[in-house]
Structure 1
Protein backbone atom coordinates (compact mmCIF):
# COMPACT_ATOMS: atom_id res chain seq x y z
CA UNK A 1 0.00 0.00 0.00
CA UNK A 2 1.33 3.44 -0.91
CA UNK A 3 0.40 6.44 1.25
CA UNK A 4 -0.12 10.00 -0.03
CA UNK A 5 3.40 10.99 1.11
CA UNK A 6 4.97 8.23 -1.01
CA UNK A 7 5.79 5.82 1.83
CA UNK A 8 4.63 2.26 1.54
CA UNK A 9 4.26 -0.84 3.65
CA UNK A 10 3.33 -4.47 3.11
CA UNK A 11 0.71 -6.36 5.01
CA UNK A 12 -0.37 -9.97 5.11
CA UNK A 13 -3.00 -11.05 2.62
CA UNK A 14 -6.07 -12.53 4.25
CA UNK A 15 -8.69 -14.60 2.45
CA UNK A 16 -12.23 -14.50 3.77
CA UNK A 17 -14.51 -17.22 2.50
CA UNK A 18 -18.25 -16.91 2.91
CA UNK A 19 -19.93 -20.23 3.62
CA UNK A 20 -23.21 -19.22 2.06
CA UNK A 21 -24.81 -16.05 0.79
CA UNK A 22 -28.33 -17.34 1.47
CA UNK A 23 -30.09 -17.70 4.75
CA UNK A 24 -31.27 -21.13 5.82
CA UNK A 25 -34.47 -19.51 7.07
CA UNK A 26 -37.72 -18.64 5.35
CA UNK A 27 -40.52 -16.81 7.17
CA UNK A 28 -44.08 -16.38 5.93
CA UNK A 29 -46.38 -14.58 5.63
CA UNK A 30 -44.24 -11.48 5.65
CA UNK A 31 -45.66 -9.05 6.70
CA UNK A 32 -47.75 -10.88 9.28
CA UNK A 33 -50.38 -10.01 11.88
CA UNK A 34 -50.70 -12.90 14.33
CA UNK A 35 -48.66 -15.97 13.42
CA UNK A 36 -45.27 -16.26 11.71
CA UNK A 37 -44.29 -19.57 10.13
CA UNK A 38 -40.58 -20.39 10.11
CA UNK A 39 -39.11 -22.97 7.76
CA UNK A 40 -35.45 -23.89 7.36
CA UNK A 41 -33.42 -25.95 4.96
CA UNK A 42 -30.42 -28.07 5.83
CA UNK A 43 -29.53 -30.02 8.93
CA UNK A 44 -29.46 -28.31 12.30
CA UNK A 45 -26.66 -29.16 14.75
CA UNK A 46 -28.43 -29.50 18.05
CA UNK A 47 -31.29 -31.05 19.97
CA UNK A 48 -33.27 -27.86 20.55
CA UNK A 49 -33.95 -24.71 18.60
CA UNK A 50 -34.02 -21.41 20.46
CA UNK A 51 -36.13 -18.81 18.65
CA UNK A 52 -35.86 -15.17 19.73
CA UNK A 53 -37.57 -12.06 18.43
CA UNK A 54 -35.56 -8.83 18.51
CA UNK A 55 -36.91 -5.35 17.87
CA UNK A 56 -35.18 -2.76 15.68
CA UNK A 57 -32.98 -1.69 18.61
CA UNK A 58 -31.82 -5.28 19.21
CA UNK A 59 -33.84 -5.77 22.39
CA UNK A 60 -35.26 -9.28 22.84
CA UNK A 61 -39.01 -9.30 23.15
CA UNK A 62 -39.34 -13.05 23.63
CA UNK A 63 -37.56 -16.41 23.40
CA UNK A 64 -39.03 -19.90 22.93
CA UNK A 65 -37.46 -23.35 22.66
CA UNK A 66 -38.57 -26.05 20.21
CA UNK A 67 -37.29 -29.55 19.34
CA UNK A 68 -34.98 -29.51 16.29
CA UNK A 69 -36.63 -32.49 14.57
CA UNK A 70 -39.32 -30.22 13.10
CA UNK A 71 -38.95 -28.68 9.65
CA UNK A 72 -41.35 -25.82 10.34
CA UNK A 73 -42.45 -23.82 13.37
CA UNK A 74 -45.27 -21.41 14.05
CA UNK A 75 -44.31 -18.44 16.21
CA UNK A 76 -47.04 -16.25 17.74
CA UNK A 77 -46.38 -12.54 17.10
CA UNK A 78 -49.83 -11.02 17.75
CA UNK A 79 -48.62 -9.43 20.99
CA UNK A 80 -45.96 -7.35 19.18
CA UNK A 81 -46.46 -3.74 18.13
CA UNK A 82 -46.39 -2.96 14.42
CA UNK A 83 -42.89 -2.59 13.00
CA UNK A 84 -39.76 -4.34 11.78
CA UNK A 85 -38.35 -7.26 13.79
CA UNK A 86 -35.58 -9.83 13.53
CA UNK A 87 -36.25 -13.50 14.14
CA UNK A 88 -33.13 -15.23 15.48
CA UNK A 89 -32.81 -19.02 15.39
CA UNK A 90 -30.03 -20.67 17.43
CA UNK A 91 -29.38 -24.42 17.28
CA UNK A 92 -26.10 -25.77 18.62
CA UNK A 93 -23.33 -23.66 17.06
CA UNK A 94 -25.55 -22.32 14.27
CA UNK A 95 -27.19 -18.89 14.38
CA UNK A 96 -29.45 -17.54 11.65
CA UNK A 97 -31.38 -14.28 11.52
CA UNK A 98 -34.07 -12.99 9.21
CA UNK A 99 -36.14 -9.79 9.19
CA UNK A 100 -39.90 -9.73 9.23
CA UNK A 101 -42.59 -7.09 9.41
CA UNK A 102 -45.45 -7.08 11.92
CA UNK A 103 -48.56 -5.08 10.97
Structure 2
Protein backbone atom coordinates (compact mmCIF):
# COMPACT_ATOMS: atom_id res chain seq x y z
CA UNK A 1 0.00 0.00 0.00
CA UNK A 2 1.18 3.50 -0.75
CA UNK A 3 0.20 6.42 1.45
CA UNK A 4 -2.21 8.81 -0.22
CA UNK A 5 -2.53 11.74 2.20
CA UNK A 6 -0.66 14.14 4.43
CA UNK A 7 -1.43 11.84 7.37
CA UNK A 8 0.96 8.93 7.02
CA UNK A 9 -0.17 5.39 7.70
CA UNK A 10 2.30 2.60 8.28
CA UNK A 11 3.11 -0.62 10.10
CA UNK A 12 2.42 -1.60 13.70
CA UNK A 13 4.59 -4.39 15.10
CA UNK A 14 2.54 -4.73 18.31
CA UNK A 15 -0.98 -5.17 16.92
CA UNK A 16 -1.36 -7.78 14.17
CA UNK A 17 -3.31 -10.87 13.17
CA UNK A 18 -0.24 -12.61 11.75
CA UNK A 19 3.37 -11.59 12.51
CA UNK A 20 5.39 -9.52 12.18
CA UNK A 21 3.07 -6.48 11.77
CA UNK A 22 -0.21 -5.06 10.49
CA UNK A 23 -0.94 -1.91 8.48
CA UNK A 24 -2.64 1.00 10.27
CA UNK A 25 -3.64 4.60 9.65
CA UNK A 26 -1.89 5.80 12.83
CA UNK A 27 1.19 3.71 13.74
CA UNK A 28 1.96 5.71 16.91
CA UNK A 29 -0.97 6.66 19.14
CA UNK A 30 -4.39 7.88 18.08
CA UNK A 31 -5.27 9.39 14.72
CA UNK A 32 -5.17 13.18 14.50
CA UNK A 33 -8.01 15.70 14.35
CA UNK A 34 -9.28 16.36 10.82
CA UNK A 35 -7.36 13.33 9.56
CA UNK A 36 -7.68 12.34 5.92
CA UNK A 37 -5.48 9.28 5.54
CA UNK A 38 -5.56 7.12 2.40
CA UNK A 39 -3.63 3.90 1.82
CA UNK A 40 -3.78 2.85 -1.83
CA UNK A 41 -2.71 -0.48 -3.33
CA UNK A 42 0.28 0.00 -5.60
CA UNK A 43 -0.68 -3.28 -7.26
CA UNK A 44 -3.44 -3.27 -9.88
CA UNK A 45 -5.50 -6.46 -9.63
CA UNK A 46 -6.25 -7.95 -13.04
CA UNK A 47 -9.82 -9.27 -13.17
CA UNK A 48 -10.07 -9.21 -16.97
CA UNK A 49 -10.22 -13.03 -17.18
CA UNK A 50 -11.99 -13.55 -13.86
CA UNK A 51 -15.23 -15.45 -13.45
CA UNK A 52 -15.50 -14.25 -9.85
CA UNK A 53 -13.32 -12.41 -7.33
CA UNK A 54 -13.26 -11.82 -3.58
CA UNK A 55 -11.33 -9.29 -1.47
CA UNK A 56 -10.46 -10.46 2.04
CA UNK A 57 -8.44 -9.16 4.98
CA UNK A 58 -8.42 -9.29 8.76
CA UNK A 59 -9.33 -6.06 10.50
CA UNK A 60 -10.11 -4.33 13.79
CA UNK A 61 -10.92 -0.68 14.48
CA UNK A 62 -11.74 1.92 17.15
CA UNK A 63 -13.09 5.26 15.90
CA UNK A 64 -15.65 7.85 16.93
CA UNK A 65 -19.09 6.67 15.88
CA UNK A 66 -21.03 8.75 13.31
CA UNK A 67 -18.46 11.55 13.11
CA UNK A 68 -15.34 9.62 12.01
CA UNK A 69 -15.34 6.79 9.50
CA UNK A 70 -13.26 4.34 7.48
CA UNK A 71 -14.06 3.25 3.94
CA UNK A 72 -12.61 0.68 1.59
CA UNK A 73 -13.02 1.73 -2.05
CA UNK A 74 -12.27 0.37 -5.52
CA UNK A 75 -11.26 2.10 -8.76
CA UNK A 76 -11.19 0.75 -12.32
CA UNK A 77 -9.78 3.95 -13.88
CA UNK A 78 -6.41 4.37 -12.13
CA UNK A 79 -7.90 6.26 -9.21
CA UNK A 80 -9.92 8.86 -11.11
CA UNK A 81 -13.14 7.65 -9.47
CA UNK A 82 -13.59 5.50 -6.37
CA UNK A 83 -16.56 3.27 -5.47
CA UNK A 84 -17.24 2.46 -1.77
CA UNK A 85 -17.39 -1.28 -1.02
CA UNK A 86 -19.74 -3.05 1.36
CA UNK A 87 -18.46 -5.89 3.51
CA UNK A 88 -19.80 -8.14 6.25
CA UNK A 89 -18.74 -5.66 8.94
CA UNK A 90 -19.55 -2.32 7.34
CA UNK A 91 -22.68 -0.30 8.14
CA UNK A 92 -24.46 2.54 6.36
CA UNK A 93 -23.21 5.96 7.43
CA UNK A 94 -25.28 8.86 8.75
CA UNK A 95 -22.32 11.23 8.32
CA UNK A 96 -23.29 13.95 5.79
CA UNK A 97 -19.95 13.47 3.99
CA UNK A 98 -20.81 9.87 3.06
CA UNK A 99 -24.52 9.63 3.85
CA UNK A 100 -25.88 6.16 3.17
CA UNK A 101 -22.52 4.75 2.08
CA UNK A 102 -20.91 1.64 3.65
CA UNK A 103 -18.30 2.51 6.29
CA UNK A 104 -16.57 1.12 9.34
CA UNK A 105 -17.53 3.08 12.44
CA UNK A 106 -17.58 2.71 16.21
CA UNK A 107 -15.43 -0.04 17.74
CA UNK A 108 -14.56 -3.63 16.93
CA UNK A 109 -11.59 -4.57 19.09
CA UNK A 110 -11.20 -8.23 18.03
CA UNK A 111 -9.75 -9.38 14.71
CA UNK A 112 -12.43 -10.37 12.21
CA UNK A 113 -12.06 -11.65 8.66
CA UNK A 114 -13.71 -9.26 6.23
CA UNK A 115 -14.83 -10.54 2.82
CA UNK A 116 -16.05 -8.30 -0.01
CA UNK A 117 -17.52 -9.59 -3.27
CA UNK A 118 -15.76 -8.08 -6.31
CA UNK A 119 -17.83 -9.81 -9.00
CA UNK A 120 -19.19 -6.53 -10.39
CA UNK A 121 -15.62 -5.56 -11.32
CA UNK A 122 -14.80 -8.69 -13.35
CA UNK A 123 -13.51 -7.94 -16.84
CA UNK A 124 -11.57 -4.93 -15.54
CA UNK A 125 -8.40 -4.01 -13.66
CA UNK A 126 -8.84 -2.83 -10.10
CA UNK A 127 -7.08 -0.79 -7.42
CA UNK A 128 -8.09 -0.78 -3.73
CA UNK A 129 -7.94 2.10 -1.25
CA UNK A 130 -8.52 2.39 2.52
CA UNK A 131 -9.49 5.86 3.80
CA UNK A 132 -9.92 7.23 7.34
CA UNK A 133 -11.51 10.65 7.90
CA UNK A 134 -12.05 12.33 11.28
CA UNK A 135 -13.45 15.58 12.67
CA UNK A 136 -11.75 17.95 15.12
CA UNK A 137 -13.05 16.39 18.34
CA UNK A 138 -12.56 12.87 19.71
CA UNK A 139 -9.49 10.97 18.44
CA UNK A 140 -9.20 7.20 18.86
CA UNK A 141 -6.83 4.38 17.93
CA UNK A 142 -8.00 3.99 14.33
CA UNK A 143 -8.00 1.12 11.86
CA UNK A 144 -5.79 -1.96 11.38
CA UNK A 145 -5.76 -4.47 8.54
CA UNK A 146 -3.70 -7.58 7.88
CA UNK A 147 -3.53 -10.60 5.54
CA UNK A 148 -4.81 -8.61 2.55
CA UNK A 149 -5.75 -10.84 -0.41
CA UNK A 150 -7.70 -10.77 -3.68
CA UNK A 151 -8.86 -14.25 -4.70
CA UNK A 152 -9.68 -14.76 -8.40
CA UNK A 153 -11.63 -17.58 -10.06
CA UNK A 154 -10.48 -17.95 -13.67
CA UNK A 155 -13.13 -18.09 -16.44
CA UNK A 156 -11.58 -20.94 -18.41
CA UNK A 157 -10.64 -23.32 -15.59
CA UNK A 158 -12.77 -22.30 -12.62
CA UNK A 159 -9.56 -22.53 -10.58
CA UNK A 160 -8.06 -19.77 -8.51
CA UNK A 161 -4.63 -19.25 -10.18
CA UNK A 162 -3.00 -18.39 -6.86
CA UNK A 163 -4.30 -21.62 -5.30
CA UNK A 164 -2.94 -23.59 -8.25
CA UNK A 165 0.47 -21.97 -7.97
CA UNK A 166 0.51 -22.43 -4.19
CA UNK A 167 1.02 -26.14 -4.82
CA UNK A 168 4.65 -25.14 -5.29
CA UNK A 169 6.30 -25.76 -1.92
CA UNK A 170 8.35 -22.83 -0.68
CA UNK A 171 10.05 -21.60 2.48
CA UNK A 172 11.21 -18.03 3.13
CA UNK A 173 13.85 -17.77 5.87
CA UNK A 174 14.99 -16.23 8.13
CA UNK A 175 12.13 -13.90 9.06
CA UNK A 176 12.99 -11.44 10.57
CA UNK A 177 16.06 -11.17 8.32
CA UNK A 178 19.22 -9.09 8.58
CA UNK A 179 21.50 -8.93 5.52
CA UNK A 180 19.99 -11.72 3.41
CA UNK A 181 16.85 -13.78 2.97
CA UNK A 182 16.59 -17.19 1.31
CA UNK A 183 13.71 -18.69 -0.65
CA UNK A 184 13.71 -22.48 -0.88
CA UNK A 185 11.49 -23.99 -3.62
CA UNK A 186 10.39 -27.58 -3.15
CA UNK A 187 10.31 -28.62 -6.82
CA UNK A 188 10.72 -27.23 -10.31
CA UNK A 189 8.05 -24.86 -11.59
CA UNK A 190 6.36 -25.73 -14.88
CA UNK A 191 6.47 -22.15 -16.18
CA UNK A 192 9.62 -20.88 -17.88
CA UNK A 193 10.58 -18.52 -15.05
CA UNK A 194 9.55 -17.02 -11.73
CA UNK A 195 9.68 -13.37 -10.71
CA UNK A 196 10.55 -12.21 -7.20
CA UNK A 197 9.74 -8.65 -6.09
CA UNK A 198 10.22 -6.81 -2.80
CA UNK A 199 7.98 -3.88 -1.79
CA UNK A 200 7.75 -1.69 1.28
CA UNK A 201 4.42 -1.16 3.03
CA UNK A 202 3.57 1.82 0.80
CA UNK A 203 4.04 -0.20 -2.39
CA UNK A 204 7.46 1.17 -3.35
CA UNK A 205 9.40 -1.42 -5.36
CA UNK A 206 12.90 -2.07 -3.98
CA UNK A 207 13.86 -5.20 -5.90
CA UNK A 208 12.65 -7.27 -8.85
CA UNK A 209 14.51 -10.28 -10.26
CA UNK A 210 13.60 -13.08 -12.67
CA UNK A 211 14.92 -16.63 -12.15
CA UNK A 212 14.78 -19.81 -14.29
CA UNK A 213 12.21 -22.47 -13.43
CA UNK A 214 14.94 -24.99 -12.58
CA UNK A 215 16.11 -23.06 -9.54
CA UNK A 216 15.53 -24.55 -6.09
CA UNK A 217 16.98 -21.78 -3.90
CA UNK A 218 17.04 -18.00 -4.24
CA UNK A 219 19.26 -15.75 -2.12
CA UNK A 220 18.36 -12.06 -1.86
CA UNK A 221 20.84 -9.48 -0.57
CA UNK A 222 19.18 -7.13 1.93
CA UNK A 223 22.30 -5.40 3.24
CA UNK A 224 21.49 -2.06 1.61
CA UNK A 225 17.81 -2.02 2.56
CA UNK A 226 16.64 0.17 5.47
CA UNK A 227 15.23 -1.73 8.44
CA UNK A 228 11.45 -2.07 8.22
CA UNK A 229 8.50 -4.14 7.06
CA UNK A 230 8.46 -5.37 3.46
CA UNK A 231 6.42 -7.74 1.30
CA UNK A 232 7.93 -10.49 -0.87
CA UNK A 233 5.92 -11.22 -4.02
CA UNK A 234 6.61 -14.37 -6.04
CA UNK A 235 4.89 -14.79 -9.41
CA UNK A 236 4.85 -17.64 -11.94
CA UNK A 237 3.36 -17.09 -15.41
CA UNK A 238 2.17 -13.69 -14.24
CA UNK A 239 0.08 -15.18 -11.43
CA UNK A 240 0.83 -14.73 -7.71
CA UNK A 241 2.38 -17.68 -5.90
CA UNK A 242 2.86 -15.92 -2.58
CA UNK A 243 2.65 -12.47 -1.02
CA UNK A 244 4.38 -12.64 2.37
CA UNK A 245 5.47 -10.15 4.98
CA UNK A 246 9.21 -9.86 5.68
CA UNK A 247 10.73 -7.90 8.56
CA UNK A 248 14.26 -6.56 7.96
CA UNK A 249 16.26 -5.66 11.08
CA UNK A 250 19.88 -4.47 10.84
Do the two structures share a fold, i.e. TM-score over 0.5? yes
**Could you tell me which of 235, 242, 248 is aligned with 1:90?**
235
How many residue pairs get matched? Answer: 89
- Which of 20-29 and 69-78 deviates more? 20-29
Matched position secondary structure for 1:58: coil
Cα distance in 1 for partners of 2:232, 2:179 equals: 14
Q: Give me the CA root mean square deviation.
A: 2.7
Query: Which residue of structure 1 lines up, in the alignment, with residue 200 of structure 2?
Result: 55
Q: Is the 8 A contact 2:179 2:221 kept in 1?
A: yes
- Over 3 Å counting, the alpha-carbon distance change for 1:86 and 1:41 in structure 2 is same
- Over 3 Å counting, the alpha-carbon distance change for 1:38 and 1:73 in structure 2 is same
**Could you tell me which of 196, 206, 210 is aligned with 1:65?**
210
Cα distance in 2 for partners of 1:91, 1:81 equals: 28
Matched position secondary structure for 2:197: strand
When normalised by structure 2's length, the TM-score is 0.31
When normalised by structure 1's length, the TM-score is 0.70
Query: Which residue of structure 1 lines up, in the alignment, with residue 247 of structure 2?
Result: 101
Report how far residue 45 of structure 1 moved: 3.6
Cα distance in 1 for partners of 2:194, 2:238 equals: 11
Q: Which structure's residues are more often helix, by fraction?
A: 2
Matched position secondary structure for 1:63: strand
Q: How does 1:1-103 map to 2 (within 5 A)?
A: 19=163, 24-41=169-186, 44-95=189-240, 96-103=242-249
Cα distance in 2 for partners of 1:97, 1:72 equals: 17
Cα distance in 2 for partners of 1:68, 1:61 equals: 23
Cα distance in 1 for partners of 2:215, 2:167 equals: 21
- Over 3 Å counting, the alpha-carbon distance change for 1:94 and 1:39 in structure 2 is farther
Gaps of 5+ in 2: 1-152, 154-158
Report how far residue 43 of structure 1 moved: 5.0
